[in-house]
Amino acid sequence: MESTKTLEPAVPVRRPYKLVSREFHPEDSVVKVGSVVFGGPQVVVMAGPCAVESREQVMASGEFMQQLGVPVMRGGAYKPRTSPYSFQGMGVDGLKLLAEARERFGVMIVTEAVDHGSLHHVAEYADIIQIGARNMQNFELLKAVGQTGKPVLLKRGLSATIDEWLMAAEYIAAHGNLNIILCERGIRTYETKTRNTLDISAIPVVKQLSHLPVVIDPSHAAGTWQWVAPLARAAVAAGADGLIIEAHPNPAEALSDGPQSLNFPHLEELVGSLRKVADAVGRQL
Amino acid sequence: MESTKTLEPAVPVRRPYKLVSREFHPEDSVVKVGSVVFGGPQVVVMAGPCAVESREQVMASGEFMQQLGVPVMRGGAYKPRTSPYSFQGMGVDGLKLLAEARERFGVMIVTEAVDHGSLHHVAEYADIIQIGARNMQNFELLKAVGQTGKPVLLKRGLSATIDEWLMAAEYIAAHGNLNIILCERGIRTYETKTRNTLDISAIPVVKQLSHLPVVIDPSHAAGTWQWVAPLARAAVAAGADGLIIEAHPNPAEALSDGPQSLNFPHLEELVGSLRKVADAVGRQL
Amino acid sequence: MESTKTLEPAVPVRRPYKLVSREFHPEDSVVKVGSVVFGGPQVVVMAGPCAVESREQVMASGEFMQQLGVPVMRGGAYKPRTSPYSFQGMGVDGLKLLAEARERFGVMIVTEAVDHGSLHHVAEYADIIQIGARNMQNFELLKAVGQTGKPVLLKRGLSATIDEWLMAAEYIAAHGNLNIILCERGIRTYETKTRNTLDISAIPVVKQLSHLPVVIDPSHAAGTWQWVAPLARAAVAAGADGLIIEAHPNPAEALSDGPQSLNFPHLEELVGSLRKVADAVGRQL
Amino acid sequence: MESTKTLEPAVPVRRPYKLVSREFHPEDSVVKVGSVVFGGPQVVVMAGPCAVESREQVMASGEFMQQLGVPVMRGGAYKPRTSPYSFQGMGVDGLKLLAEARERFGVMIVTEAVDHGSLHHVAEYADIIQIGARNMQNFELLKAVGQTGKPVLLKRGLSATIDEWLMAAEYIAAHGNLNIILCERGIRTYETKTRNTLDISAIPVVKQLSHLPVVIDPSHAAGTWQWVAPLARAAVAAGADGLIIEAHPNPAEALSDGPQSLNFPHLEELVGSLRKVADAVGRQL
């Protein structure tokens, strides 16, 4: 088992996590995805549809992201859905569409893996492997994604503490992969107006405890597209290293998460405002 | 995909779940495991160590359960642990020890599967396949366990709503398996005195919404062995169909969950008191 | 200020609370209200309407409680309501009706005080002064109720930790009143099926930390009358010293909390079943 | 009772609150405190110590706020404390010190009232009456503060929903006072790294539902001074109308909330950075 290597006495344990801790690596770490760098001066915007639905939808999205200067496109080919009767994603066919969009529009691709089978394919086609909130403590999947060595976007679980989230990252790190980008996407609380409660404090707390880059998903936190823009601006002001935003060429017809998806004009408007906020806190976007 | 069958218009959908709903099946359903019946007049006690640690430990546990009349023994061979550096379980070797205990002491075995690989082995050796709280929305695992057709103990996720829990059961049912036992094990709240907050209300709520049997895990809820007995008695009084209790021949030396494990004399005392409470509410144990 | 007396060095502080702690007073304390004793072998049932609405309603309730052997009647004359446009209670007129019912039917009265003004009247007419969940950290009210010396039913706040709840009791104790009965009534969590989540674990936890009697309000926890009975039975099985249950001669016409109120036949049925559970755990009712 | 006036049929009720709802008053409302305007283009900074401790401390704070251009000073003379043995505030003597600082340094004063008695004094000496989180559903206090007609800073309760918070504001409005400033200060969740979880989403949600100004208290949310600055910047970026920040001339010696208080150099640095963020979102500060 690979993790035994990390148990050597040369690595003193003061917190439950060590490879991902600030103590182990005092400098900010950066994760490079092609020419995109997470954890440096740039605030990286990732955007795109919740789910891959069709060639038209993916190509329209890829083209718009290129025009807007959004360097990474999101889109789910494997969808973990609460109901077994909901659309479960296009699978490998969806991945191929994403890869085609990368080819044509020069955008990097982030997409989710949900088990060993899908991970095999996602690792082949994507630039960043997303581990979703529901799988944050799917430890067997974490071990496997650790072995790929590829950049990983690790979402915080719905009710994971910050310590548990960093321990999940430690699983990936302990299996050989430190290319980890942490993603806060809202936690479950008693408040029901928003889909989840964005824990904006997670940004400075994680930055103090860990050297890993942190990005924010304002879309799943808000659950309503009108609230995505102020949350995105808040994230940049609080020091986030990036954003992952749901946007769709036609939100009203989206197969999933339509109500929280921005249309393209609203995304464009948001990106413009984010540039000003990034500038105000000494970053660029 | 098997789930498509359930989409036929012959099954009207009034709630998000249907196969597991009380409307679909107005009578209580029962799940039979050998001669043990969940969901009938008997309150089924399951007990045993958190993790399988050694032949001595497993055989001592099996012998004691037999003497005490506890019909099902628990014990984890695959352990989902928050830290990659914690004991991860004995794997197949552990399953073989459990099967040996069943052979010698006539106890049924419930043990956890954590991914497709472990599920293959657990389905071979165990009588009841446990899906843990952290995997309650590991939908690929739910689909796979649905296809086994074997009895499943489905734990509620740490912050799963009752609707989400029943939807997780629906995944199993939609893939062909209605031998589902629901297990409430405490939910995550702001209170920190207990490890989790036992949602005792889940018993009557689930009984109203679903026909499936419901059992309670007081050990993970309490996190402290002194509080396990009152919670177990409360569960029986509230109408639980069973209990799953952590007990260890020597809690002080347990490799996991020692502080919440009963020793055998305390388990014996508890079972005696549970018999009286079961009798008071018209059940037997 | 009276509390300064308790700061004398003769009382060593090991926990944040001391007068209410088990360490300060290792034996269970009892609170006597006429011939009713909280904290002894008896499980004390308190029942009655949420709000005092009319003479007919109060007398019908008092008569039924007498017949059923319920020794304490509840009924709110001052109602803290979420909306300023909801019925706010009958005030002193309501208190007089409660006192009349006590006179005629021999039931003790528990009713809520919401500020200094209402406290003055409640202390005059009632046998037990209730401090509601929303006022658990209304420290000025706690100080004042401490000075009355009368029995107090202190409800746990909607999101109060057990430590904060015991500290609220300490406020009352530090101002001269140790006649405190703690009341768990459900806490706020993410689950929305029930109005609140009954923290049944609070019973053994508080019993370990404090010497004060603990009672359960299953009605506000459940929010739905069908779930009140199983929660009440669970409370008795877990060791509660009493129950406070909403019951109304005609729940469909109640001015507040109708959906969670039992009608009288259901209350009678419940009390019968509670007697059996109390007997099973060595108590009487 | 004044609230009956608002029950007239001329005011149609579509939400549980009406006077404070956006539907009732589509334009943003502004609350004027001397020359300070909440709800207009300016982001209003309020800062100062948690508690009034001495003349030196209050005058040093007032002088610094004047120099820094912070128009409102905070400071508690009545302190609701979890423990009866903690410092409970200087009372009227503290209010007089605050009024003296206003006189000398031209800063407006915001300070908390905890019951009818303290409200009488606070209304006399302060410019803005604060209602604390623990009293958000102390309805008798809300009614009384409604009758004063003075500007009110209404903090959200520890576990209040946004609807309950707006209903609390409705109590004040229904008793004749629409000079209400809402203050989000963090809610109680399962996460323990921060003292509370700042619900940054509350800003856009409340702005949609209500016309009232919203300010943020990053200090009580964070609980640790190092995290106050990023939260404050996030609040301004998300559209907050103001901030209330704990700052102390010597946090290490503060009688309460020292760990979350900024020292003056850090406050100065923060205010500088907030100006840039305010400018980026089209506001001034």
Profile chain A (285 residues) by mean pLDDT over runs of 10 residues.
Answer: 33 71 96 97 98 97 98 96 93 98 98 96 98 97 97 98 98 97 98 97 98 98 98 98 97 92 98 98 97
| Two tokens, residue B169 | 């059961």
Closest CA to C215 of C149, C136, C154: C154
Per-residue CA distances from C183 to C113, C169, C199, D138 (Å): 15, 11, 11, 19
pLDDT in tens, B230-260: 999 999 999 999 999 999 999 999 998 899 9
CA–CA distance, B242 with D134 (Å, rounded to integer): 41
Contacts of B161 in chain C (CB under 8 A): 190-193
Count of alpha carbons within 13 angstroms of residue D40, beta-carbon side = 10
**Other chains touching B, judged by 3 or more CB pairs under 8 Å:** A, C, D
CA–CA distance, D72 with D102 (Å, rounded to integer): 9
Per the CB < 8 Å rule, is A84 touching B114?
A: no
CA–CA distance, B29 with B38 (Å, rounded to integer): 9
User: Three-state DSSP class for C217?
Assistant: coil
Instruction: Write the DSSP symbol of residue C263.
Output: P
pLDDT computed for residue D80 by the predictor: 92
pLDDT computed for residue D8 by the predictor: 35
Per-residue CA distances from C281 to B272, C231, C238 (Å): 11, 16, 9
pLDDT in tens, B180-218: 999 999 999 999 999 999 999 999 999 999 999 999 999
Given a contact cutoff of 8 angstroms between Cβ atoms, the answer to whether C128 and C107 are in contact is no
Per the CB < 8 Å rule, is D161 touching A237?
A: no
pLDDT computed for residue C14 by the predictor: 52
Least CA distance to D191: which residue of chain B?
A: B190
Contacts of A226 in chain D (CB under 8 A): 204, 208
Asked if residue D6 has pLDDT above 50, the reply is: no
* Beta-sheet pairing, A242-246 with D180-184: unpaired
- Per-domain residue ranges for chain B? 25-280
Closest CA to A204 of A238, A249, A236: A238
Mutate to test the interface with A, among C159, C187, C188, C190 (most CBs of A within 10 A): C190
Per the CB < 8 Å rule, is B235 touching C230?
A: no
Mutate to test the interface with D, among A162, A200, A285 (most CBs of D within 10 A): A200
Contacts of A117 in chain B (CB under 8 A): 140
Closest CA to A81 of A46, A51, A48, A47: A51
CA–CA distance, B89 with B93 (Å, rounded to integer): 9
Asked if residue B14 has pLDDT above 90, the reply is: no
pLDDT computed for residue B236 by the predictor: 98
Please report which residue ranges of chain B form alpha helices under DSSP H: 55-68, 92-105, 116-125, 139-148, 162-174, 202-209, 218-222, 228-237, 264-280
**Across the interface, which of A16, A116, A134 has its CB nearest the CB of B116?**
A116
CB–CB contacts below 8 A, A to B: 83
Given a contact cutoff of 8 angstroms between Cβ atoms, the answer to whether B41 and B239 are in contact is no
pLDDT computed for residue B137 by the predictor: 96
Task: Tell me the shortest Cα–Cα distance from A192 to chain C, in angstroms.
Answer: 8
pLDDT in tens, A43-54: 999 999 999 999
pLDDT computed for residue B256 by the predictor: 87
Per the CB < 8 Å rule, is A189 touching C192?
A: no
Asked if residue D111 has pLDDT above 90, the reply is: yes
pLDDT computed for residue C3 by the predictor: 33
CA–CA distance, D112 with D130 (Å, rounded to integer): 4
Per the CB < 8 Å rule, is A276 touching D273?
A: no
Task: Tell me the shortest Cα–Cα distance from A7 to chain B, in angstroms.
Answer: 7
Given a contact cutoff of 8 angstroms between Cβ atoms, the answer to whether B137 and B168 are in contact is yes
Asked if residue C65 has pLDDT above 70, the reply is: yes
Instruction: Write the DSSP symbol of residue D10.
Output: T
| Two tokens, residue B124 | 């071979």
Mutate to test the interface with C, among A158, A190, A193 (most CBs of C within 10 A): A190
* Complex ipTM: 0.94
* Arithmetic mean of pLDDT, B101-115: 98
Please report which confidence band the pLDDT of residue C5 belongs to, taking 50, 70 and 90 as the band edges.
very low
CA–CA distance, A54 with A70 (Å, rounded to integer): 21
pLDDT in tens, A99-131: 999 999 999 999 999 999 999 999 999 999 999
Phi-psi region of D275 (alpha: psi -120 to 50; beta: other; left: phi over 0): alpha
Instruction: State in words which class domain A40-80+87-278 has.
Output: alpha beta
Contacts of C158 in chain A (CB under 8 A): none
Task: Tell me the shortest Cα–Cα distance from B158 to chain D, in angstroms.
Answer: 11
Contacts of D234 in chain A (CB under 8 A): 200, 234-235, 237-238
CATH number of C36-280: 3.20.20.70
What is the b/e burial string over A59-80, where b = at least 16 CB atoms within 10 angstroms of the residue's CB? bbbbbbbbebebbbbbbbbbbb
Asked if residue D174 has pLDDT above 80, the reply is: yes
CA–CA distance, B273 with C280 (Å, rounded to integer): 8
Task: Tell me the shortest Cα–Cα distance from D215 to chain C, in angstroms.
Answer: 23
Which residues of B have a CB under 8 Å from any CB of D? 159, 188-190, 192
pLDDT computed for residue A16 by the predictor: 84
Contacts of A230 in chain D (CB under 8 A): 203-204, 237-239
pLDDT computed for residue A14 by the predictor: 52
Task: Tell me the shortest Cα–Cα distance from C191 to chain A, in angstroms.
Answer: 7
Q: How far apart are the first and last CA of chain B?
A: 41
Query: Length of chain D in residues, anyone?
Result: 285
Q: What is the dihedral of CA A106, A111, A116, A121, to 10 degrees?
A: -30
CATH number of D32-280: 3.20.20.70
CA–CA distance, B121 with B112 (Å, rounded to integer): 10
Contacts of C226 in chain B (CB under 8 A): 204, 208
In whole numbers, what is the pLDDT of chain D averaged over residues? 94
Least CA distance to B207: which residue of chain C?
A: C227
pLDDT computed for residue C256 by the predictor: 87
pLDDT computed for residue D16 by the predictor: 84
Token match 């995105």: residue? Answer: A232
Least CA distance to D270: which residue of chain A?
A: A281
Given a contact cutoff of 8 angstroms between Cβ atoms, the answer to whether D162 and C75 are in contact is no
Please report which residue ranges of D175-223 form alpha helices under DSSP H: 202-209, 218-222
| Cross-strand partners of C183 | C155, C215
Least CA distance to C158: which residue of chain A?
A: A190
In whole numbers, what is the pLDDT of chain C averaged over residues? 94
Task: Tell me the shortest Cα–Cα distance from B102 to chain A, in angstroms.
Answer: 28
Contacts of D190 in chain B (CB under 8 A): 159, 188-190
Mutate to test the interface with C, among B22, B190, B191, B214 (most CBs of C within 10 A): B191
**Across the interface, which of B208, B227, B235 has its CB nearest the CB of C205?**
B227
Given a contact cutoff of 8 angstroms between Cβ atoms, the answer to whether A46 and A74 are in contact is yes
| D2: phi then psi, degrees, rounded to nearest 5 | -60, -30
Range of weakest confidence among C13-27, C90-104, C121-135, C161-175? C13-27
Using CB atoms within 10 A of its CB, is residue D56 exposed (0-12), middle (13-18) or buried (19+)? exposed
* Arithmetic mean of pLDDT, B54-60: 98
Task: Tell me the shortest Cα–Cα distance from A187 to chain C, in angstroms.
Answer: 11
pLDDT computed for residue D222 by the predictor: 97
Closest CA to D52 of D27, D70, D73: D73
**Across the interface, which of D118, D140, D188 has its CB nearest the CB of C115?**
D140
* Beta-sheet pairing, C108-112 with D36-38: unpaired
CATH number of B25-280: 3.20.20.70
Per the CB < 8 Å rule, is B163 touching C193?
A: yes
CA–CA distance, C150 with D22 (Å, rounded to integer): 46
* Beta-sheet pairing, C214-216 with D214-216: unpaired
Which residues of A have a CB under 8 Å from any CB of B? 1, 3, 6-7, 13, 16-17, 80-85, 114-118, 134-135, 137-141, 143, 158-159, 164, 167, 170-171, 174-175, 188
Token match 């199983």: residue? Answer: C230
What percent of chain D is modeled with pLDDT above 90?
A: 94
**Across the interface, which of D159, D204, D226 has its CB nearest the CB of A227?**
D204
| Two tokens, residue D104 | 């000398």
CA–CA distance, D69 with C210 (Å, rounded to integer): 50
Task: Tell me the shortest Cα–Cα distance from B130 to chain C, in angstroms.
Answer: 23
pLDDT computed for residue A6 by the predictor: 31
The dihedral through the CA atoms of B56, B62, B63, B64 has a sign that is positive
Contacts of B271 in chain C (CB under 8 A): none
**Other chains touching A, judged by 3 or more CB pairs under 8 Å:** B, C, D
Contacts of A189 in chain C (CB under 8 A): 190
CA–CA distance, A126 with A111 (Å, rounded to integer): 7
Contacts of D189 in chain B (CB under 8 A): 190
* Beta-sheet pairing, A36-38 with A31-33: antiparallel
Closest CA to B51 of B222, B219, B185, B214: B219
CA–CA distance, B152 with B169 (Å, rounded to integer): 9
